[in-house]
Amino acid sequence: MSEKKCPLNRDQLEALIKKYPTPFHLYDEAAIRANARALKAAFAWNLGFKEYFAVKATPNPYLMKVLKAEGFGADCSSLPELMLAESVGLSGKEIIFTSNDTPADEYVKAAKLGAIINLDDITHIDFLEQCAGLPEMVCCRYNPGPLKGGNAIIGHPEEAKYGFTRPQLFEGYRILRDKGVKRFGLHTMVASNELDANYFIETAHILFDLVGELSAELGIQFEFVNIGGGIGIPYKPEHKAVDLKVVGEGVRKLYKEKIEKAGLGRLDVRLECGRMVTGPYGWLVSRVLHKKNTYKQYVGLDACMANLMRPALYGAYHHITVPGKETLPHDFVCDVTGSLCENNDKFAINRALPPVEIGDLVVIHDAGAHGHAMGFNYNGKLRSAELLLRENGEVVQIRRAETVQDYFATLDFAGLNKFKV
Ligand X SMILES: *Cc1c(COP(=O)(O)O)cnc(C)c1O
Q: What are phi and psi of 139, to 5 degrees?
A: -115, 150
Total of chain residues touching ligand X, rule CB under 6 A: 17
d(C-alpha 51, C-alpha 70), whole Å: 10
75 scored as a contact of ligand X (CB under 6 A): yes
> Which of 76, 139, 334, 341 is labelled catalytic?
341
Q: Give the 3-state secondary structure of residue 206.
A: helix
- Least distance from ligand X to the Cβ atom of residue 66, Å: 17
64 and 55 Cβ atoms separated by less than 8 Å: yes
Which of 59, 49, 104, 58 is CA-nearest to residue 86?
59
197 and 153 Cβ atoms separated by less than 8 Å: no
Nearer to ligand X, 161 or 266 (CB): 161
Strand residues in 85-202 grouped as ranges (E): 95-98, 116-119, 137-142, 183-188
Catalytic (active site) residue 76 = no
Q: Map the footprint of ligand X across residues 305-344, applying CB under 6 A.
A: none
Nearer to ligand X, 135 or 232 (CB): 232
Alpha carbon separation from 175 to 127, 129, 408 (Å, rounded): 13, 12, 49
Q: Map the footprint of ligand X across residues 271-290, applying CB under 6 A.
A: 272-275
269 scored as a contact of ligand X (CB under 6 A): no
Applying CB under 6 A, the span of 225-233, 252-260, 282-290, 350-358 interacting with ligand X comes to 225-233
Pairing label, strands 282-293, 297-301: antiparallel
d(C-alpha 179, C-alpha 420), whole Å: 58
Nearer to ligand X, 109 or 325 (CB): 109
239 scored as a contact of ligand X (CB under 6 A): no
Of positions 230, 280, 311, 368, contacts ligand X by CB under 6 A? 230
121 scored as a contact of ligand X (CB under 6 A): no
- Least distance from ligand X to the Cβ atom of residue 43, Å: 15
d(C-alpha 362, C-alpha 327), whole Å: 14
Nearer to ligand X, 141 or 381 (CB): 141
d(C-alpha 279, C-alpha 263), whole Å: 38
368 scored as a contact of ligand X (CB under 6 A): no
d(C-alpha 387, C-alpha 28), whole Å: 9
226 scored as a contact of ligand X (CB under 6 A): no
Nearer to ligand X, 227 or 301 (CB): 227
Encoded one letter per residue, x for contact with ligand X by CB under 6 A and - for no contact, window 170-199 reads -------------------x--xx------
Residue ranges binding ligand X (CB under 6 A): 54, 56-57, 75, 98, 189, 192-193, 228-231, 272-275, 369
- As annotated, the active-site residues are 341
